[in-house]
Amino acid sequence: MRPTGRFAPSPTGVLHLGNLRTALASWLSAKARGGRWIIRMEDVDGPRCRREHGERQLRDLAALGLESDGPVLWQSERSGEYRETLERLGAQGLLFPCSCSRRDMSLLASAPHAEDGLRPYRGRCREEPWSGLDTALRMRLPEGFVVWEDQILGPQQDDPMALTGDPLLFRRDGVFAYHLAVVVDDGLQEVSEVVRGEDLRSVTATQIRLQEALGLPRPAYAHLGLVTAPDGSRLGKREGALGVAEMQAKGVTVPEIVGWLGWSLGCQERPEPCAAEDLVPRFAWTRVPRGSLVAPEQGAWEG
Ligand code: GLU
């Protein structure tokens, strides 16, 4: 099977350097192996996601030379597939109805990045029988550790029951969970490599359990360290971090951005301006440094 990488942003704001670094790493890894790279818009999280943010993200990625091989899939258009998958899991006896706290429910559709924290479900109603899609649903997870290999972090093991507990997959009002949408679409799009920020490492074991329940192949994983602002604070799509156009308005050129990202991924010794294509032959996961890194001060771009 042809290697397939993907970048799966949520269109909640502008892509910052950390997001762009993830996009470039997944693109380079796919291209270095002669593979396919696709973009998927993860917009199941209704009110937080906006079409125009997604369009802007696609333009910024294209400015860096990163374009989807094949149509961009928007998750908000895929309720049918998610519904069918839930029916299947329900028929397998793996789902149970649940009445959770409002807070758990409100975060269901968004990827649980660091600031949201993880709250494992304690299993109050896991013996309830599945009765269809007119109620909130969780998947009953098996006990035990999940072991996998991360291309940056090395061997990993987690007990998903301790981290997330039985994951919530559906909300009574018809909203599908992030876990469900990610796993279904990675499977359908035959994604063989998942590259994302280290703040999502802790949901990997839960997503692997869901793949197993659905009989889907397990992709390779690479979790990249986060990029922080020069003052050490977190870069956030929703917190006014600079996007490509804002950096350009400050006099930073696209080759400078790509050059810095390529350097941060171990493809070149100095952050010299270059094009994404130039980095393809120099990319290897073994050279990608671990840990977080600091975005350049404005002056550093100009110096
Ligand atoms: N859509 C998620 C986000 O924007 C990423 C999901 C993933 O890469 O698995 O954070």
Domain ranges of the chain: 4-74+224-294, 76-188
User: Closest ligand 1 atom, CA of 10?
Assistant: 4
Distance 199 CA to ligand 1 centre (A): 10
pLDDT tens column, 201-218 = 999 999 999 999 999 999
Evaluate if pTM is beyond 0.85. yes
CATH classification of 4-74+224-294, choosing from 3.30.499.10, 3.40.50.1000, 3.90.550.10, 3.40.50.620? 3.40.50.620
Distance 127 CA to ligand 1 centre (A): 31
Distance 167 CA to ligand 1 centre (A): 16
Instruction: Note the pLDDT of residue 102.
Output: 61
Nearest alpha carbon to residue 212 among 177, 192, 187: 187
Nearest alpha carbon to residue 44 among 228, 145, 171: 171
As given in the structure block, the two tokens for residue 208 are: 């692997």
User: Closest ligand 1 atom, CA of 9?
Assistant: 4
Question: Pairing relation of β-strands 4-7 and 193-197?
Answer: parallel
Residues whose beta carbon lies within 6 Å of some atom of ligand 1: 8-10, 42, 111, 182, 194, 196, 200
pLDDT at 87 over 80: yes
What residue spans of 66-152 are helical by DSSP H? 79-91, 102-106
What residue spans of the chain are helical by DSSP H? 17-32, 51-63, 79-91, 102-106, 160-163, 178-188, 204-214, 244-249, 254-264, 276-279, 298-302
User: Residue 222 — φ and ψ, nearest 5°?
Assistant: -140, 120
Domains 4-74+224-294 and 76-188 alike in fold: yes
The CATH superfamily holding the domain 76-188 is HUPs (3.40.50.620)
Distance 48 CA to ligand 1 centre (A): 14
Rounded CA separation 194/35 (Å)? 13
pLDDT tens column, 22-64 = 999 999 999 999 999 999 999 998 888 999 999 999 999 999 9
